[in-house]
Structure 1
Amino acid sequence: MLVAVLVMLFAQLFVLGAGPARAHGGPFEGQIAQDGEGGVYVSFAYTEDGHPVEALLVGTVEGRSAAGEVLDPVPLVSASQGSGIWGVPAGTFPEGEWDITVTVTDPVAYETSAPIEIVMAEVVAEDYVAPAAAASDVAPAAEFGSWFAVGLGVAAVAAVLVVGALLFRRSRVSA
């Protein structure tokens, strides 16, 4: 009986618990956008499953304006907006048309380019929402699947224990 419970517990931990980790890996792609303040950010997602790249990236952003101005490579830094979003600080690019190139060297080599029009948006104080407040609504929904799998495993182990206890009690009564 104890062996059956342990087998089910290990099956829960290794089979169901490892599912989300298996979904990630392999090649990824990035979408380049501007932030309205002279900065550029890139959203990275795995091509196979579309999930955000949560791995640490080493990369740079460089650009060439329509007027011929060249911006030397600037290191990408992890953005506070969420997983898989990396960027360069506001004010890095002046307004205008730019050909932006993003180069990632680690964990895999990747490069993408896109023409971007850098504009400076006017922010009205009453319309501004802090990024942390906007992101706080997303986290519970994203973690639901993991907690559901754990709850399902606990319920399965509890069911096995109850059935085992009933069978054990029945065998003691009939003997």
Structure 2
Amino acid sequence: MPSRLLRGLLAALAVVPLLALWPAAPAAAHGGPLELDLAGDGATGVTVRAAYKQDGHPVEDQVLRLVLNATGEGGRRVGPVQLDPANEGQGFYTSGAVLTPGRWTVVVTSPEPNPGKAEATVEARVAQTAPPPQAAPTDPGGGGTWRWWVAGAALLLGAVVALALVSRHRAKAAAR
């Protein structure tokens, strides 16, 4: 009886690695209409987040074709401009600097088989630049107090080493 149990156990252990070779069920394919969230990028471009309406998952396909058309004050027009996938993550697209400063009505569309449309009013602004880095405050005398601390520490270390050497020399002389 124990040998039967042992053989059954060994057979079960042999089957377990073979289960890893079993074909996986296909993943649920995304598709269908898109939910497009459109916003200005803070300068003269726009960003779009694309997700499937069916389940809210971000669009993973890098060849999705999103097209921007914009109308500005005074009848200015931009587009059609194809949006590129952005580096921010899956489902994010960006236009780059395509608008001039001012108020724009922007429409982004996606054709079949994944139709989608978003419209928003965007206030395009001149891109801001970072302020120049501030220089570190300097000592008006030009020396800086840190140099005095380094000089003092060096003198103190030198005195400790000299005392150790003198003490060692005296100990050797006394031992003779």
Which structure 1 residue ranges, 4+ long, deviate > 4 Å from structure 2? none
Structure in which a larger fraction of residues adopt helix? 1
> Alignment RMSD, CA only?
2.7
Q: Tell me the secondary structure at the aligned position of residue 66 of structure 2.
A: strand
**What is the alpha-carbon distance in structure 2 between the residues aligned to residue 107 and residue 63 of structure 1?**
23
* Aligned positions of 1:1-175 closer than 5 A: 1=11, 4-5=15-16, 8-10=19-21, 14-15=24-25, 21-22=27-28, 24-55=30-61, 56-90=63-97, 92-105=98-111, 107-124=113-130
**What is the alpha-carbon distance in structure 2 between the residues aligned to residue 42 and residue 35 of structure 1?**
9
- Structure 1 residue 30 displacement after superposition: 0.9
**What is the alpha-carbon distance in structure 2 between the residues aligned to residue 41 and residue 116 of structure 1?**
11
Q: Tell me the secondary structure at the aligned position of residue 38 of structure 1.
A: coil
**What is the alpha-carbon distance in structure 2 between the residues aligned to residue 99 and residue 28 of structure 1?**
20
**What is the alpha-carbon distance in structure 1 between the residues aligned to residue 85 and residue 113 of structure 2?**
14
Q: From the superposition, tell whether residues 14 and 35 of structure 1 become closer, same or farther in structure 2 (CA, over 3 Å).
A: same
Structure (1 or 2) with the larger CA radius of gyration: 2
Question: Would the aligned equivalents of 1:59 and 1:104 in 2 still touch at CA under 8 Å?
Answer: yes
Unaligned regions of 5+ residues in structure 1, if any? 128-175
- Structure 1 residue 79 displacement after superposition: 1.3
- Structure 1 residue 95 displacement after superposition: 1.4
Question: Would the aligned equivalents of 1:34 and 1:118 in 2 still touch at CA under 8 Å?
Answer: yes
Could you state the TM-score of these two structures normalised by the residue count of structure 2? 0.58
Question: Would the aligned equivalents of 1:42 and 1:85 in 2 still touch at CA under 8 Å?
Answer: yes
- Structure 1 residue 87 displacement after superposition: 1.7
Could you state the TM-score of these two structures normalised by the residue count of structure 1? 0.58
What letter matches 1:44 in structure 2? A
**What is the alpha-carbon distance in structure 2 between the residues aligned to residue 83 and residue 64 of structure 1?**
28
1:27-55 residue CA offsets vs partner (Å, 9 max, x unmatched): 22111111122111111012233221011
